[in-house]
Amino acid sequence: MSVQAVLFTLVALIAGGMIALQAPINAEAAGRLGNPLAAATMSFCVGTIALVVLMALFARHNTDLGALKSMPLYMLLGGGLLGVIYVTVNLMLAPRIGIAAVMALGIAGQLFAALLIDRLGLFDLLERELSVGRVGGAVLVLVGALMVRLF
């Protein structure tokens, strides 16, 4: 395995760990604010400010904002709305079923959706066939997620 492959693997693991931290932080904020939507709003406002600063520092010269006019609606709204749902569901479920269960079930859901997206070649991605290994791996992840949740 190349150094770059190891580095990318570590970065992905660390980013996943950050998602596990995000859910309880947002859940605690929801408890203090008295409303999960208020906590999700706070989270997205902070994230938006951080992204605007990062874009201004690193991406302003090579970003074509004019392309926004030609983007389909699902592209303009989809990512943000799906993020709102994901964050809000996580912060609502975290205190009820625990972070490990939320993360495990979320990963299983992501994997099954990814298999479907791959199989259908959605979003201009290369179509990939379902194989026994890929489906079996996803089923094992789901079984593991259910074990984390139920046992």
Give the pLDDT confidence of 116-127 residue by residue, as tens digits.
999 999 999 999
The answer on pLDDT for 61 being more than 90 is no
Give CA–CA dist 54/16, Å, rounded: 21
Query: Using N-to-C axis directions, what is the helix angle for 99-120 and 73-97, rounded to 10°?
Result: 150
pTM of the model: 0.83
- Give me the DSSP letters along 31-50: HHHT-HHHHHHHHHHHHHHH
Q: Which letter does DSSP use for residue 54 in this model?
A: H
Helix, coil or strand: residue 75:
helix
pLDDT band at 60 (very low <50, low <70, confident <90, very high): confident
Task: Give tens-digit pLDDT for 74-107.
Answer: 999 999 999 999 999 999 999 999 999 999 999 9
The mean per-residue pLDDT over the stretch 57-82 comes to 93
One-letter identity of residue 26: N
The reported pLDDT for the residue numbered 44 is 95
Q: What proportions of the chain, in percent to the nearest 5, are helix, strand and coil?
A: 85, 0, 15
**Domain coordinates in residue numbering, the chain:** 1-96, 98-151
